[in-house]
Structure 1
Amino acid sequence: MRTLLLISACCLMMSSFPVSGGDRVTGQPFATRSEVIARHGMAATSQPLVTQVALDVLKSGGNAVDAAIAANAAQGLMEPVGNGIGGDLFAIVWDAESQALYGLNASGRSPRDLSLQWFLDQGYESIPSYGPLPVSVPGCVDGWFELHQRFGSMPMSELLDPAIRYAREGFPVTELIAYYWDRSVPRLSQYPGFTEQFTIDGQAPRKGEIWRNPGLANTLAKIAGGGRDAFYTGPVAKTIADHVQAQGGFLSEADLAAHRSEWVEPVSTDYRGHTVWELPPNTQGVAALQMLNILEGYDLAAAGFGSPEHIHWFTEAKKLAFEDRARYYTDPDFADIPLDRLLSKDYAKRQLARIRDDVAAKAYPDPASLQSGDTIYLTVADEAGNMVSLIQSNYRGMGSGMTPPDLGFILQNRGELFALDPQHANRFEPGKRPFHTIIPAFITKDGKPWISFGLMGGAMQPQGHVQIVTNLIDFGMNLQEAGDAPRIYHEGSSSPTGETMTDGGRLYLESGFDYSTVRALMDRGHRVGTARGPYGGYQAILRDPESGVYYGASESRKDGQAAGY
């Protein structure tokens, strides 16, 4: 009896100590939790209250597209540091009825009254990051209505109601969002309307503090009652245009009224028996596919996750893909982009031959101006098998700082990504969509939906997509582990017009990689460093093709949550 009591006491004492990664019952040591598993529906977003909004829509009879629209509207309120109705939107939709993928490009265009020559005459070498000049037409609202018209089932007024109620009643701000909000306030407070509408007594809301946005509530109510035209024409559009022009910008009512989204064919590549889907330019999704085509030539599984070979091959493939990104990716209405060649396996083999296993390359172009950005990504799946991969952004943090009076949102600064070199494919032109960093992704297998996923963070996005795919397929990780695994981020160091690098850029490795690996990479010539926060934020939903059961994942780098029912 005494021995039994001692054993019981020891077990009780051991259970009171935290379990280390090496003592996990299941899963990789770096996994933050197990996957979320549910049968009827799943939502994964970077804000837990937003995830609950999506689930509420699903439970009330809405489909995945309905839930994604409602979630995005709420996210614009709750995570204004990364998105809002002043920004752009892209989506990939798996439609269960037609058993097909559909792509939506809801990005806006540059002002038609602004020219490249104007920038050059004023002495600009690049488009400013903030203020009125990088503002382009916000495409988000039109994107909602395009999605809804094609796939939605519930009234838009019901889908926008949760965001409107939260905007009026308030909600507690979460930790990471409060952190990024605080960083934006000093930068954007110089612009009229920002302090009044996006601070509390001149300060960002703190973690746990209640935030309300009555201006946004009123704007969303107008959209709910009057449709997309209530945003792109009439008093709202006039307020937007008047505010931008009063600050010296060029966005006009005519620019807003002329805006339309575009349904596009997703592009894909086969990676070891799986089909990975992205959207074509003006996004950078093709870069992820090009990297995967190159990496398919290596035995990553044999090399092992986190090995020097794995990281070296990944980094060199990234440099090569971003060389093409700098040269070719732009609005396809203004350029002939050789997508077939860029995505061909033969081209990938020629690119592969350029990589040396023992030396890091120093001279691949990689435009530094295309690196930064803050974004949200969300994904939703419903009982019928519909799945939505949606990404939305204001670009740099909270956007341009242009905050039209009483409307409750900030306009994006995506136009900063235009080049001012007259010979560059992505040069500024009136009525043109800028190069876009934000990319939703999808994976099918044997023609059936498998995974809807995305990862936020500027130039990290295609790099992150590739890491998720290889983590899943090459390294056998589950959906949660694939997002929690330590990440690789390579940053280039050249001009916006894509001139040749001279130092190979810098390779950032998240904590979790062995120092022996770091040393081996340095021996190859990589400049290895550490950085705080550029590694993105991941959400994903996997559908089991046999049972139809959904698996959800959301990582700990953000405030997010995956949940189902």
Structure 2
Amino acid sequence: MSRYASKSQTVRKPAVVSKSGIVAAQNRLAAEQGAEAMVRGGNAIDAAVTTAFALAATEPWMSGLGGGGSMLIYLAKEDQVKVIDFGMVSPSNLDPADYPLSGGVASDLFPWPAVVEDRNLLGAKSIAVPGAVDGLGKALEAYGTIAWHEAIQPAIDLAEAGLSVDWFSALVIASSAKDLSRFPSSASVYLDDGFPPSPTWHAVGRSPTRELTGLTNTLKHLAEYGPREFYEGALAKVIAKDVQEAGGYLSEADLAAYEARELEPLVQDYRGAKIYVQPELNGGPTMLKAFDEISGQDLAGDRPGAATYKAYAESLLKVYEERLATLGDADEARGESCTTHLSAVDSEGNMVTLTTTLLSIFGSKLVLPTSGILMNNGIMWFDPRPGHPNSLAPAKRCLANYSPTIMKDDWGRVALGASGGRKIFPAVFHILSYIKDFGMSLDEAMHHARIDVSGTERVVMDAALPLAVRGDLVSRFNTAETPRDVFPLAFACPSAVLRKGNENQGASEVMHPWSDAVSAESRAHTVPTIRE
């Protein structure tokens, strides 16, 4: 009998259904800003970019101006999928010899051999060239309809209001307080005399807030001068100066050379549906191989059973073995990823699936003192050992795990992705199979129990899976059982939108306390006046 069997509460987060646009994200406040952009006449791209900037103020430890990521865009009129890659790149003058091994194993997401002073994990030397601002700017310019300053203004308003300290934000800050305390500029934003802030115990009333003054001023500056100001203007100069004064490699030249890329998606047929992912260094290509592995197997039935999860586990174990051997990821993922995912659909059927990240929670843990930007620790994506497929080197693109995905079928389309490091593409894989192979609604698929295989060692089972399924998996594989809980998240955190006919659906991770899907029609009566 499962030791979690006595856990009797049931958590549900119903999918939102609407003929208007919908944004699904890991933070409801940010999703509301995207939905309101559509109320004002914007499309799904406007909504996604607005939401992504808002997340920098509402969920700053997950993503922001100092990070990177990628997005897939479905253009309904053209029936085309576009990819914008704004992943991070290592600085051009980075010296791999400056990251000597110290013995032991690193303590963050990937158990690389430990580096002296954790230089690849913490502080200025862990910072890669961020791509988020250029990627969001390119998406808005090419496929959006609203002005740049309109997309950033909600983020400015949220940053000016300050970061709300409720129980969840207090928990997240506490989990990184020791590392944040190493950097005075970071401690001044997130800590109280070196300690995590405490939420109020009152049942009613506004939560205390943390001031984000530096970020607010930087967002205002970006709104006025445009996205390339981050890479070529006065802002680029102060970013590079702060990083180099703290001992990092990021330079003005690195920023000026950075360009987000528009790529052709990889597309694969799966039982008559087409699955689109980003090519190259992310989780999407590996996920397509997993679908190829199960494409010839009979998964028929009303609900996935023991044979289904056996097939899932075998395919994921096989493709991860290949991924680790050829792409150089680590042997076992640990910790919590600092990634966020959002998906958006508008009333015309345009869709966006967008993942953006700082990599670890709070990224490098370094808030730049002049600009207030929390920077990534993208250097941690690289193997610090020389001579491996993903070894650390200058001017090299980072190997990421995010997997924004679009699936088109004869009934419609679904756009989704997740946060959760190496747990991401197995979650996307499960949800797409639930929808395609078992005809689940988006609501059913998001609530249904999953397994996670994010390496070659172990199959992690949701304790909510039927006993017969768990028993069969235990008899076949090295397994571990865990509940789908709030913190830490044992499974990835997905957000998705679905289009069927002229009806839209949106849903987000059931167990994430802040995630939600928000429809434009629900925000129509609450739209603030846009400040010119």
TM-score range, shorter chain: 0.7 to 0.9
Aligned partner of 2:37: which letter? V
> Is 1:82 aligned with 2:62?
yes
CA contact (8 A) 1:369 1:417 kept: no
Aligned partner of 2:452: which letter? Y
1:443–1:320 distance in 2 versus 1, CA, 3 Å: same
For residues 379 and 372 of structure 1, the distance between their equivalents in structure 2, rounded to whole angstroms, comes to 21
Shift in Å, 1:517: 3.1
> Is 1:463 aligned with 2:426?
yes
Q: Which segment drifts farther, 98-107 or 192-201?
A: 192-201
CA contact (8 A) 2:238 2:370 kept: no
For residues 35 and 303 of structure 1, the distance between their equivalents in structure 2, rounded to whole angstroms, comes to 21
1:159–1:525 distance in 2 versus 1, CA, 3 Å: closer
Pick from 438, 442, 446: which aligns with 1:479?
442
Q: Hey, what does 2:109 align to over in structure 1?
A: none
- For residues 140-170 of structure 1, the C-alpha deviation after alignment (integer angstroms, 9 at most, x for no partner) is 0011111111012111111111110111123
Q: How does 1:445-456 map to 2 (within 5 A)?
A: 445-446=409-410, 450-456=413-419
For residues 423 and 261 of structure 2, the distance between their equivalents in structure 1, rounded to whole angstroms, comes to 25
- For residues 168-203 of structure 1, the C-alpha deviation after alignment (integer angstroms, 9 at most, x for no partner) is 123534554442222122222212311012234444
Q: How does 1:150-549 map to 2 (within 5 A)?
A: 150-170=142-162, 172-173=164-165, 175-206=167-198, 208-302=207-301, 304-305=303-304, 307-329=305-327, 367-368=331-332, 373-446=337-410, 450-492=413-455, 505-530=457-482, 532-544=488-500, 546=501, 548-549=502-503
CA contact (8 A) 2:463 2:481 kept: no
Q: How does 1:88-99 map to 2 (within 5 A)?
A: 88-99=68-79
Shift in Å, 1:370: 8.7
For the residue of structure 1 that corresponds to 2:465, the secondary structure is: coil
For the residue of structure 2 that corresponds to 1:451, the secondary structure is: strand
For residues 266 and 241 of structure 1, the distance between their equivalents in structure 2, rounded to whole angstroms, comes to 33
For the residue of structure 2 that corresponds to 1:143, the secondary structure is: helix
For the residue of structure 2 that corresponds to 1:300, the secondary structure is: coil
Q: Hey, what does 2:507 align to over in structure 1?
A: 553
Aligned partner of 1:479: which letter? L
> Is 1:57 aligned with 2:55?
no
For residues 267 and 249 of structure 2, the distance between their equivalents in structure 1, rounded to whole angstroms, comes to 37
For residues 173 and 60 of structure 1, the distance between their equivalents in structure 2, rounded to whole angstroms, comes to 30
For residues 212 and 330 of structure 2, the distance between their equivalents in structure 1, rounded to whole angstroms, comes to 39
Shift in Å, 1:137: 0.6
CA contact (8 A) 1:130 1:401 kept: yes
Shift in Å, 1:236: 2.5
Shift in Å, 1:530: 2.6
CA contact (8 A) 2:339 2:419 kept: yes
For residues 249 and 459 of structure 1, the distance between their equivalents in structure 2, rounded to whole angstroms, comes to 27
Q: Which segment drifts farther, 204-213 or 100-109?
A: 204-213
Shift in Å, 1:304: 4.4
CA contact (8 A) 1:233 1:253 kept: yes
For residues 11 and 275 of structure 2, the distance between their equivalents in structure 1, rounded to whole angstroms, comes to 24
CA contact (8 A) 1:442 1:453 kept: yes
Shift in Å, 1:271: 1.6
For residues 98 and 173 of structure 2, the distance between their equivalents in structure 1, rounded to whole angstroms, comes to 33
Q: How does 1:75-154 map to 2 (within 5 A)?
A: 75-119=55-99, 125=113, 128-154=120-146
Q: Hey, what does 1:39 align to over in structure 2?
A: 19
Aligned partner of 1:459: which letter? R
Shift in Å, 1:464: 0.4
Shift in Å, 1:396: 0.7
Structure 1: state its 5+ residue gaps: 1-20, 23-28, 331-364, 493-503
For residues 178 and 470 of structure 1, the distance between their equivalents in structure 2, rounded to whole angstroms, comes to 36
For the residue of structure 2 that corresponds to 1:430, the secondary structure is: coil
Shift in Å, 1:224: 0.7
For residues 476 and 34 of structure 1, the distance between their equivalents in structure 2, rounded to whole angstroms, comes to 17
Aligned partner of 1:534: which letter? A
Q: Hey, what does 2:203 align to over in structure 1?
A: none
CA contact (8 A) 2:19 2:504 kept: yes
For the residue of structure 1 that corresponds to 2:300, the secondary structure is: helix
Shift in Å, 1:528: 2.4
Shift in Å, 1:30: 6.9
For residues 394 and 37 of structure 2, the distance between their equivalents in structure 1, rounded to whole angstroms, comes to 40
For residues 37 and 292 of structure 2, the distance between their equivalents in structure 1, rounded to whole angstroms, comes to 38
CA contact (8 A) 1:506 1:529 kept: no
Structure 2: state its 5+ residue gaps: 1-6, 104-111, 200-206, 522-532
Shift in Å, 1:68: 1.0
Q: Which segment drifts farther, 177-186 or 210-219?
A: 177-186
CA contact (8 A) 1:308 1:520 kept: yes
1:314–1:203 distance in 2 versus 1, CA, 3 Å: same
For residues 118 and 366 of structure 1, the distance between their equivalents in structure 2, rounded to whole angstroms, comes to 21
For residues 248 and 257 of structure 1, the distance between their equivalents in structure 2, rounded to whole angstroms, comes to 20
1:172–1:192 distance in 2 versus 1, CA, 3 Å: closer
Shift in Å, 1:125: 4.5
CA contact (8 A) 1:536 1:557 kept: no
Identity %: 28
Q: Count the aligned residue pairs.
A: 490
- For normalisation by structure 1, the TM-score amounts to 0.81
Shift in Å, 1:536: 1.6
1:520–1:325 distance in 2 versus 1, CA, 3 Å: same
1:300–1:211 distance in 2 versus 1, CA, 3 Å: farther
Shift in Å, 1:296: 1.7
For the residue of structure 2 that corresponds to 1:399, the secondary structure is: coil
- For normalisation by structure 2, the TM-score amounts to 0.86
Q: CA RMSD in A?
A: 2.6
For the residue of structure 1 that corresponds to 2:81, the secondary structure is: strand
Shift in Å, 1:540: 1.1
1:98–1:178 distance in 2 versus 1, CA, 3 Å: farther
